[in-house]
Each structure stands twice: as structure tokens, then as C-alpha cells.
A and B are shown apart, each in its own frame.
Chain A
Amino acid sequence: MLRRKRVKQQQPTRGYETTEKTIKEVFEKAKKSSDFSTITPIEKDHPLQISFYKTLIDPNIFQKSVLPFLKEKASEVKELSDLKDVVPIDDIKVKQDPLEVEKALHEGAIVLYFKDSMKEFALLSISHPRLGQRETNDTQNEFSVIGPKVGFIEDITTNLHLIRDHLSTSDLIYEEVTIGTRARTKVVIAYLDGVTNPGYVNTAKQRLKELDIDVSFDNTQLEQLISDHSSTPFPLFITTERVDRTVGALIQGQVVLISDKSSYAVIGPAALMDFFSNPEDFYLPSVIASFFKLIRIFGMLFSIFATPFYVAILTFHYEVIPRDLLGPIINSRANVPFPPVIEVLFLEITIDLLREAGARLPTKIGQTLGIVGGIVIGQATVEAALTSNVLLIIVALSALSSFTTPIYKMSTAVRLLRYPYILFAASWGGLGIYVGLLFLIGHLARLKSLGVPFMLSIYPYRKGGLANSFVRPNYAKSQKRPWYLRPLSVKRYSPAADKDPEEGLNTE
């Protein structure tokens, strides 16, 4: 009721920056920064001037390819368009719009102009985008034993190069969108023309274009801004730093977003079971890869449900414990003064504290922390009768199995999920876990990624996709893209028939 009385504020129109600027204002504002410099290359009274941000241009090109030629032939330059004959740089534009001049300055261009006219401006792009960037990334966060280890870095041109280098086809389309009213980050939507459903591309493009944000720091933030449900703990897009995973997604007909200053590619539409698949699956034989994929899915389930079931069984359902286990469990719990739920919450929060502290510390101190956490705290809590031995093992195992999920964002979601289940188990026992499961399934079934159901091929059921969600099919049998992702072309390849001779060298 109170809210209604509040006077509706005037919604500000799009764009918080001053849109109309004169060229004078542009230069005055830039001159406030100490890294902005304006020089006269030839002699004091020559009207030709150069302005640029020292921190954005490549000084080598400026010294070797711009200044010498200007000094030599400056007298020949009567109009700005003559510069093309003087300076050996292909990216020379002559513009008049002050806004474009400002934008070019920020992208690492030098501006040449005659100070007496100030009407036309020549923009020479000699930017140095890799300044301060690391050279390579060896996919430390998504490590695989075999397979390529090249990952993305925080520079968009490098990342786009990596993808196009890997996927040399003219069907690979990059569409560029600029987001962020203040930072003006470049975001590239990549897709395969003739494969990816244009619906996904249009959805992604529309969301990015209508996105109103001042600064987007990283792709992982961008992913949340354009996600279909903003209040879910589950990631609705796959964020990966692996080039092979990104290329694989493009081939499957998914859309990939790459943004500047971010070492993560965002893949959508994503399905729940995709998060448990790993590029390494495709480098191992399908039987072994399927086994490991099932192990990961089991690990996810175990990680969520192990401690809730401990709480439920020890609080309500002593009947289901085998007789031989009754002794060890009761005996180890005999001195613990808390009910199982407090005991479990204590240890789970300890583990999460350790994990968070380990993630915030430098690697070398982190090792010490591991010892402190694993041995000292673990042993001491049992001896101080704060938790039982059996629980220590279960919590350690479930923490271990939560790290098997390859995508970090999903792994954290899995870690969080157990807490509501522990509370449910403490209040209603096994029934509580069941009720929680209903909530979880209901929530998952509602989720969508770029408009596509998140649980796709399990719910809504899609023929042919269910088995592939749990195992990695043989290459001879996975010659088609999943039809339920609605790619424009379904067939990927057609394996040749076996042409080995019936009799011969290899029939022995």
C-alpha cells in the first residue's frame, strides 16, 4: 500500500553520458588526464598536431612508422587526406564527428589535425591491445590430462584468433555488439552460419543490445545479466576457458559469446547434463569416457545427498542401518553432545571455510592451510567430541565428489544445494529429502537457457537424447547433431563403411 503512494520517478532515457559534445570539450576533458599528450611533430609554428593517449598506443609503431615519415614529408601535407601517401599505415580515417574522435582516442588511435582549422581529423589506429596481457593460458581451471591445453586470455582479438584458427571456415560468423554505457566493452556473438538456429542468435543479440549496464567486468557477469532466470543458483550458460570446448559447442550449433577483457567464453543454450561433460571425454575411448561421466554424475548426487541422508537416518530412521554398522556409528557418536544436524552443519561449514580460505590465499600458504584443515582440524574435532568419525569420512567424501563437476559455477551450485537438504532432513527426515527433491525438480524444470528448457532431453523428454546425457556415444553413432537443439543442418558427418578385405593380412 505504501509503495503505491510513492511518486513514480521519471525514468531516465537511455545513456547516462553527455551525448552532444563539441570537439573543444573532447580535447579539454582529455587534457585533464596526465597520459594524454598533444605534440607538434615538425616545427613549433606548423599547424599539424598529433594527440593521443600515451598509455593506449603502441610506441614502437609510433616511433618507427609514423613520426619519421611525418618529419620527412610534413611539408607535403596540405590536407589530411594526403596523409595516406605519407604514412605507411592502412588504417587511416578522416572524420569530423567529435564523438567518433573521442571513441577512436580511447581505442588507441592517434589523431592528426591542423590546429588552425579543427574541422577534420585523421585517425590512425596504432593501438596496443596486448599490452599488459599474459601470453598464453594453459587452462588451469579446467585441466585435462590429454587434449589441447590452450585457453583463452583477457584479450578479445587473441580469443577470436584462437577460435578462427581452430575452425577455419567462412561459415563461422562473428557479430560484434558494444555493451556498457561507460566502458563500451566489445562482445562478439559467434555462431556457425547454416547450422546454428537463428532464433538463438537473435535472442542473444536482442538481450545484449537491450542490456543497460555501465561496466561489464567479465563474461561470467555478462552471463548473469542476460540469463533467463536471475534468481537461480544454477548457471544457465556454460562458462569455459577451453578453446576446444568452445569450438565443440559451435559445431553442435550453439551460440558462443566472447567479450573483451574476459578469459571465459559463454556457451548457450546449455542443458543441465552438459555441465557434467568434459572435453577430455572426447579424447578417451567412449566406454571409459562414459564411465567417468557416470562417476561425475554420481559424484554430484553423492555430494548433494550424502550428509542429508546421514542426518535423516541418524535422526529418524535407525531401522535402515545394517546391524554391523550400528555399533561403529553409535559408538563414534556416543560422546557427541549435539544432534546430528548441528554436528553436520558444523563440519560442512568448516569444510566450506577451508575451501574459501584456500581459494583466497596464495598457493604456498594454501598448502599449509590444507594441512591445518585436513589433519589438525579433522583430528581435533573428533577428539574433542564435536563430530563423529563416520561423519568426518562422509563429509570429506562429499566435499571431494563436489569437485568432480568440470564447470566451476555448477560445482559451487552443487556445494550450496546440500544445505537446504540438511535442514529438510533435520525437520522431516527421509520425507523431507523427498520434498526437497520435488522442489529441486520443479525448479530445474522451470529453468530455461536462451529460451530452451534447461533439463532438455530429460524433461521435456526428447528421443535419442536421454542416453547421450549420461554416456558419451561412439563416434560412429554420433554422426548427427541433437535434433532437439534445432540446428539448421542435422548431419555432421557420415562414417565410411568397413572396407577391410574378408581374407588377407588382417584376418588371421
Chain B
Amino acid sequence: MKKWKKPLILIVLCVCIFGLLGCNRTRIIDQISIVHVFGFDQAEDGELIGTALVPNYTTSKSGDDIQFYEEKTSTSVLFAPKMASQTSTPVELGKIRVLLFGKSYAEAGIGEMVRRFILNPQIGTNIQIAVSTESAKKTLNALKQEKSLTLAERIQQNMQGQYLPRMNLHVFLNRFYGEGVDAYVPMLTIGEQERVSVDGIGIFEDDHLKLQLNPEQTTVFSFIEDEQTQATYKMDLEGKERREILAVRAFKSKSNWDWNSKKERLHLGLQLHVTLTQIPDRYSVENEKDVMEMKRIVEKRLEKEMADLFALLKENGVDPLGIGNIVRSKDKSWKETSFYEKYPALPISVNVDVQFLHSGLEG
């Protein structure tokens, strides 16, 4: 019997391998429909509208043959199965790059969608989540007209080199479920020539969209929130003859929050390293006095803009900067409800320290 032991084990092993192989489900790459962008909207009768862009790579290498699928269901689980009824190959969600919410749906609350659809192991978390000012369906249709699959890159590029603060689904979920902080997402809009463009950020309170910041406000927001922001900040100065423009581009920023627990005051010390990209003609960078004056102008203007931003956030009762968290880190007895009751009246003072790195080398 001993001589038969080894072949016997091998036969059993082969049976196991082929038995399990028979129960296996393959997802061969050219026989699946890979969803690229997924959009959510609310129908008027309360049902959900799911829209998806599926590039057809089998006919074009660059993927400019894009299929648009739309499906109306009562629950998000049915999106993929119902869409599959229109396609020849199974719909796979694993390669979604951008999740897009229509504004009206986002304002009504996305909590259920996050729990039921987005918290799905198939969907990665290093992807973008965004809200569009139009309906998601309309935005996706515009993207289809553009024949481009670069929405994710468009958002990422604006986060790395422009004024958007950094955000992805992973960070979004952390903020969405976290205490003492509110989530924000990039806003998309359909601009001129029917092109989809980035337009500030939208701030959530709990699970519904509460406030939208315009690009200028977002720039100031990025200075505080994002240490590596490269946002360009432009200010108009009242000149003697004509309007003069002073523009700076951020290189790095460091915000120091200081909580005075006795007086219950918050102080923000912001160190900002910028490059001068455009200066009015009457100033000269060779003149130290002029440089000091420009520095003072930028600091003053930023301090005012930030005070306005804090006022706006407090007024709307949203906390995308995570001020609750900052206070919690200094105060053991912090309670979410009691803090946010007092939040609209919380005094926040700002001190901005601007350093010019260089000038005239860029734009």
C-alpha cells in the first residue's frame, strides 16, 4: 500500500484542482464591461438613477468609443445587474475611477449610497468622488460627447498643481464617518463648449451637501488645508490710474492651530511660502521696501479672506477644516454635540506670515 500512497495523493490533488476549477468564474479581460465613471441621480418619483460610462476598448485602443448606460432602480444593488441587461458582457465595477453625484441628490443625502454601494470591496478607495452642479446624467453625457476618459486625471491634476485641496475616496470616507470633521468633495460643472470643468468644492454636513465654495474661496481654503498646494492667488489693488493685479502662487503652507482653553479661543498661525507671479509696475522686487509692502498687502488680504471664510463656514454650521478635531486633540472633555452648539460663535483669529521665495521666473 505504501507504494501507492504518492500517486494516490497526486490523483486526489488533481481531482481537487479540476473540481475547484469547474466551479470557478473567470473574468477574462476582453469579455467584461469595465465601468469608468459612475453617476448617481435622484428621479422625481424618489427612485435612483444610475448612469455609467463604459469604454469599448475592443474597437478602439484609446477608448474613445464610449457606451452610456442608464438604469432606474429602487436600490443601488440592482444597478450592475440591470445594466447588464443592456450589455453583451457582464458589468464590472472594479475599475471605477470617478463616482459622481448629481447636486440635487447630494443635497438630499448620500448616506445610504455610501453604505450600500461605495463601501464595496470591489471598488478601490484611491479614486475620486465628486458632485456635479448639473445632474450626473447630464455631466456623463457631456463627457461622452468629449470622447475622453480623463475625468479622474482632470480632477487629480487640479489637486496637485492647482487650487483644489487633495481628496480621494479614502480620505472622504474617513471624514464622512469621522467625528469633529466634515467631508468635502470637488465640484464639477459643465462650462463653455459643453466641457466638464472643475468648479470649487462642495462641503457636506453629515450626509448632505450644504455649501459650495467658489474657486477663490477654495484657494484660500487650500492654503489652510493642503500643505503642498500650488494654488495661484490673485488680488486686485486699487491703483492710481488703472486696476493693478498682484498674483502669487503657493509653494508650501503650514498651519499651526492654537487652542486657548480658558478663553475658548482658537488661533491660526499660517506660514505661507509663495512665489510672486505678477506684480504691479509701481513696485520693484529689487527694492526691499516695496517687497515688505507687498508682503504686508498679501498678508492683510489673506487674513481678511480667511476671516470671511471662517464666518461663512460657521454660519452654515459646517466644519471641513476639522476644527472640532483640533480642539478635541487639546481638550479631553470634548463632546461633539456641545461643541457644535457653540461652534457658530467660536472666535477664530488668524495671523498669516508670507515668505516670498522668488519672483519673475514663472508665468
Most buried by A among B3, B28, B55, B149: B28
Is A472 an interface residue when CB atoms closer than 8 A count as contact? no
How does the 8 Å CB contact mask read for B13-32 relative to A, with 1 for contact and 0 for none? 00001101100101111101
Any B CB within 8 A of the CB of A412: no
Scan residues 326-382 of chain A and give those whose CB is less than 8 A from a CB of chain B: 326-331, 333-334, 336, 339-340
How far is it, in angstroms, between the C-alpha of A334 and the C-alpha of B28 when the chains are bound?
11
The answer on a CB contact under 8 Å between B57 and A326 is: yes
Q: Are A316 and B26 in contact (CB under 8 A)?
A: yes
Chain A residues, CB < 8 A from B62: 327
User: How close is A312's CB to chain B, nearest CB, in angstroms?
Assistant: 11
Residues in A with CB closer than 8 Å to B58 are 330-331, 334
> Chain A contact residues (Cβ within 8 angstroms of B): what range?
20 to 34
On chain A, the residues within 8 Å of B124 by CB distance are 319
B residues near A327, Cβ cutoff 8 Å: 55, 57, 60-63
B155 at the binding interface (Cβ < 8 Å): no
Which chain A residue lies CB-closest to B97? A323
State whether B57 touches A427 (Cβ < 8 A).
no
What are the residues of chain A within 8 A of B18 when measuring CB–CB? 427
Q: Does A250 contact B (CB under 8 A)?
A: no
A323:B29 contact, CB within 8 angstroms: no
The residues in A between 305 and 322 inclusive whose CB is less than 8 angstroms from any CB of B are 313-316, 318-319, 321
Contact mask A275-316 → B, CB, 8 Å, 1/0? 000000000000000000000000000000000000001111
B161 to chain A: closest CB distance in Å? 19
B95:A323 contact, CB within 8 angstroms: yes
State whether the Cβ of B34 lies closer than 8 Å to any Cβ in chain A. yes
Cβ–Cβ < 8 Å partners of A314 in chain B: 28-29
The residue among B17, B29, B55 with the most chain A CB atoms within 10 A of its own CB is B29
How many residues on B have C-beta within 8 angstroms of the other chain's C-beta atoms?
28
Q: Indicate if A499 sits at the interface (CB-CB under 8 A).
A: no
Contact in complex: B60, A323 (CB < 8 Å): no
State how many angstroms separate the Cβ of A319 from the closest Cβ of chain B.
Answer: 4
CA distance A313 to B32 in the complex (A): 13
Is A78 engaged at the interface, CB distance under 8 Å to the other chain?
no
Given A323-B95, A328-B61, A427-B24, check contact A333 B30 (CB 8 Å).
yes
A427 touches B95 (CB 8 A): no
From A319, A328, A329, A339, B95 is in contact (CB under 8 Å) with A319
Question: In the complex the two chains form, what is the Cα distance from A428 to B23 in whole Å?
Answer: 11
Among the listed B17, B21, B27, B30, which residue makes an inter-chain contact with A316, where contact means beta carbons less than 8 Å apart? B27
A44 within 8 A of B: no
Contact status B3-A339, CB under 8 Å: no
- Contact of A339 with B28 at beta-carbon distance under 8 Å, contacts A3-B3, A326-B57, A327-B61 already known: yes
Contact check, A331 vs B61: say whether CB atoms are below 8 A apart. yes
For A426, the closest partner residue in chain B by CB is B21
Bound Cα distance from A231 to B8, whole angstroms: 17
Q: Are B63 and A326 in contact (CB under 8 A)?
A: yes
**B108 → chain A, closest Cβ, in Å?**
31
Q: Mark B94-136, 1 if CB is under 8 A from A, else 0.
A: 1101000000000000000000000000001000000000000
Q: Which residues of A contact B26 (CB under 8 A)?
A: 315-316, 339
Contacts of B3 in A (CB 8 A): 3
Give Cα distance in the complex from A427 to B29, angstroms.
15
Q: Are A428 and B61 in contact (CB under 8 A)?
A: no
Q: Which residues from chain A contact B95 at a C-beta distance below 8 Å?
A: 318-319, 323, 326
**In the complex where A327-B62, A339-B26, A339-B28 touch, is A318 in contact with B57 (Cβ < 8 A)?**
no
CB of B21 within 8 A of CB of A315, answer: no
Q: Within the assembled complex, what's the spacing in Å between the Cα atoms of A339 and B24?
A: 14
Is B71 located at the chain interface by the 8 A CB criterion? no
A339 to B30, CA, bound (A): 10
B92 within 8 A of A: yes
- In Å, the complex CA distance between A321 and B95 comes to 9
Q: How far does the Cβ of B131 sit from chain A's closest Cβ, in whole Å?
A: 22
Closest to A423 in B: B17
CB proximity to B under 8 Å, residues A1-15: 3
Of A315, A323, A330, A334, most B-chain CB atoms within 10 Å: A330
Chain B minimum-CB-distance residue to A321: B29
Q: Is the CB of B28 within 8 A of A330?
A: no
Whose C-beta in chain B lies nearest to the C-beta of A314? B29
B164-179 CB contact bits vs A (8 Å, 1 = yes)? 0000000000000000
Give Cα distance in the complex from A333 to B149, angstroms. Answer: 21
Bound-complex Cα distance A313 to B29 (A): 8
Q: Is A427's CB under 8 angstroms from B97's CB?
A: no
Q: CA–CA, A316 to B17, complex, Å?
A: 17
Residues of B within 8 A of A318 (CB): 27, 29, 32, 34, 92, 94-95
A357 to B30, alpha carbons, bound, how many Å?
A: 34
Distance in angstroms from B79 CB to nearest chain A CB is: 18
> In the complex, which residues of chain B have a beta carbon less than 8 angstroms from the beta carbon of A428?
20-21, 24
Report the bound CA distance from A327 to B57 in whole Å: 5
A294–B323 Cα distance when bound, in Å, is 51
- Shortest Cβ gap from A161 to chain B (Å): 46
Give A200 Cβ to nearest chain B Cβ, in Å: 30
Whole-angstrom distance from the CB of B59 to the nearest CB of chain A?
8
A473–B26 alpha-carbon span in the complex (Å): 47
| Complex interface residues of chain B between 25 and 65 (CB less than 8 A to chain A) | 26-30, 32, 34, 55, 57-63
How far apart are the CA atoms of A315 and B32 in the complex, in Å?
Answer: 11
- Asked whether B24 lies within 8 Å of A330 as measured between CB atoms, the reply is no
A319-B95, A319-B124, A330-B58 known; A427 and B17 CB under 8 Å? Answer: yes
- Please give, as numbers and ranges, the residues of chain A lying within 8 Å of B59 by CB-CB distance: 334
Of chain A, the residue at the smallest CB distance from B63 is A327
B351 → chain A, closest Cβ, in Å? 44
What residues of chain B lie closer than 8 Å to A326, measured between beta carbons?
29, 34, 57, 63, 95
Known A-B contacts A319-B94, A334-B58; A329 and B29 likewise in contact (beta carbons under 8 Å): yes
Q: In whole angstroms, what is the CA distance A396 to B60 when docked?
A: 26
Tell me the nearest residue of chain B to A330, going by C-beta: B57
Enumerate chain A residues within 8 angstroms of B32, measured Cβ to Cβ. 318
- In the assembled complex, the Cα of A207 lies from the Cα of B335 at a distance in Å of 80
Query: How far is B27's CA from A315's CA once the two chains are assembled, in angstroms?
Result: 5
Q: Tell me, in angstroms, the Cα distance from A86 to B95 when the chains sit together.
A: 96
Interchain nearest-CB distance for A404 vs B (Å): 30
Chain B residues with CB under 8 A of A330: 29-30, 57-58
Please give, as numbers and ranges, the residues of chain A lying within 8 Å of B24 by CB-CB distance. 427-428
Q: Mark A236-260, 1 if CB is under 8 A from B, else 0.
A: 0000000000000000000000000
- Encode B254-287 as 1/0 by CB contact (under 8 A) with A: 0000000000000000000000000000000000
Apart from A318-B32, A318-B95, A328-B61, what are 4 other A-B pairs with CB-CB below 8 Å? Answer: A313-B29, A314-B29, A316-B26, A428-B24
Pairs A–B under 8 Å by Cβ, sample size 26: A313-B29, A315-B26, A318-B29, A318-B32, A318-B34, A321-B29, A323-B95, A323-B97, A323-B152, A326-B63, A327-B55, A327-B62, A328-B61, A330-B30, A330-B57, A331-B58, A331-B60, A333-B30, A334-B59, A336-B30, A339-B28, A427-B17, A427-B24, A428-B20, A428-B21, A428-B24
Residues of chain A whose beta carbon lies under 8 Å from any beta carbon of chain B: 3, 313-316, 318-319, 321, 323, 326-331, 333-334, 336, 339-340, 427-428
Q: Which 3 A-B pairs have the closest CB atoms?
A: A330-B57, A334-B58, A319-B94
